[in-house]
Amino acid sequence: MTKITVLLAVFAGFSFPAVNAQAAPAWPDNNKIAVSLSYDDALASQLDNAVPALNEYNFKASFYIVPNSASVQSRMADWQALASDGHELGNHSLFHPCSAAKPSREWVSEEQNLDNYTAERAIREVLTANVFLQALDGKTQRTFTPPCFDTQAAGNDFIEPLKAHFVAIKGLEQTEQSLLWAPSAVTGQQLINYVKNAPEETQLINLLFHGIGGDHLSVSVAAHAQLLAYLAANKDRYYVDSYINIMKKQAKE
Ligand SMILES: [Zn+2]
């Protein structure tokens, strides 16, 4: 099996044994581990705190936008500036629907309840969000991360038909080569340890943040800064980029 087949298969969510060590060239870049920093839900604290920290090291990240977020309406120019600076505005659906039937989902309103959706409606709303994002950044390619990682609308899968519309869909599968964590209320050292202690076969680490120093599921400004400083100090081991860039690079090799 060729390297590319393995990588595409991993992305498609199938599980495979460890990648053949003989395969060359190593992905993504001299055996570095790709690190995707992403920020979900279009929160003001991301503009205020995450963006300046990322820019300090010229790290590019993915921001998964919900168009009806208050900060998109009040600070549209700031979100547009992110895209011009090389960050990705990713799709996170139009209204962030999630299944209310799952544990700890008391916050899901009737109207947002994915259990009341048809698959067609879920798909239509995600594609409409793409049009909105294209109006913001002029781009026709991006990645998608499903709200709450929910993949079914009232028992019907809506992810499969969406795959053709995105460079990649983030967060649905954790394989031996790909890790994913959505940290909140953690220390900088805990974030660093997660990256540092990734198993040897790891090729991609996904860190999904929400608020940074504010908003919900928050990580402190200091903890976030500590992680970024660690990644910057270890550029020989880690390749930090937007999810779309990482996935395009992966597909090429
Ligand atoms: Zn979300």
* Domains of the chain by start residue, with CATH: 3-252 (3.20.20.370)
Q: What's the gap in Å between 225 CA and the centre of ligand 1?
A: 22
Above 60 in pLDDT, residue 84? yes
Using CA atoms, how far apart are residues 212 and 90, in angstroms rounded to an integer? Answer: 18
- Spell out the alpha helix ranges (H) of the chain: 3-11, 44-45, 51-56, 70-74, 76-84, 119-137, 188-196, 221-233, 243-252
Average pLDDT over residues 144-155: 95
Average pLDDT over residues 194-216: 95
Q: What's the gap in Å between 199 CA and the centre of ligand 1?
A: 27
Above 90 in pLDDT, residue 90? yes
Average pLDDT over residues 121-144: 98
Secondary structure of residue 35 in the 3-state scheme: strand
Q: Residue 204 — very low, low, confident or very high, per pLDDT cuts 50/70/90?
A: very high
Above 80 in pLDDT, residue 24? no
Looking at the DSSP bridge assignments, the partners of residue 90 are 64
pLDDT at residue 208, as a whole number? 97
For the beta carbon of residue 226, count every other beta carbon within 10 angstroms: 17
Q: What's the gap in Å between 19 CA and the centre of ligand 1?
A: 32
Average pLDDT, the chain: 89
pLDDT at residue 31, as a whole number? 79
pLDDT at residue 123, as a whole number? 98
Q: What's the gap in Å between 243 CA and the centre of ligand 1?
A: 16
Q: What's the gap in Å between 116 CA and the centre of ligand 1?
A: 18
Q: What's the gap in Å between 210 CA and the centre of ligand 1?
A: 8
Using CA atoms, how far apart are residues 42 and 14, in angstroms rounded to an integer? Answer: 31
Q: Residue 27 — very low, low, confident or very high, per pLDDT cuts 50/70/90?
A: low
Q: What percent of the chain has pLDDT over 70?
A: 87
Instruction: For 157-201, write each residue's pLDDT tens digit.
Output: 999 999 999 999 998 866 778 999 999 999 999 999 999 999 989
pLDDT at residue 11, as a whole number? 35
Q: What's the gap in Å between 41 CA and the centre of ligand 1?
A: 5
Q: What's the gap in Å between 52 CA and the centre of ligand 1?
A: 22
Contact 235, 202 (CB under 8 A): no
Q: What's the gap in Å between 23 CA and the centre of ligand 1?
A: 37
Instruction: For 64-79, write each residue's pLDDT tens digit.
Output: 999 999 999 999 999 9
Using CA atoms, how far apart are residues 82 and 58, in angstroms rounded to an integer? Answer: 12
Q: How far is CA 214 from CA 76, 172, 209, in A?
A: 19, 26, 11
**Which of 207, 208, 93, 218 is closest to 147 using CA atoms?**
93
Q: Residue 56 — very low, low, confident or very high, per pLDDT cuts 50/70/90?
A: very high
List the structure tokens of 171.
């967060």
Q: What percent of the chain has pLDDT over 90?
A: 82
Phi first, then psi, for residue 21 (nearest 5°) are -65, -20
Using CA atoms, how far apart are residues 206 and 38, in angstroms rounded to an integer? Answer: 8
pLDDT at residue 252, as a whole number? 77
Alpha carbons within 13 A on the beta-carbon side of 146 = 21
The one-letter amino acid code at 30 reads N
The pTM assigned to this predicted structure is 0.87
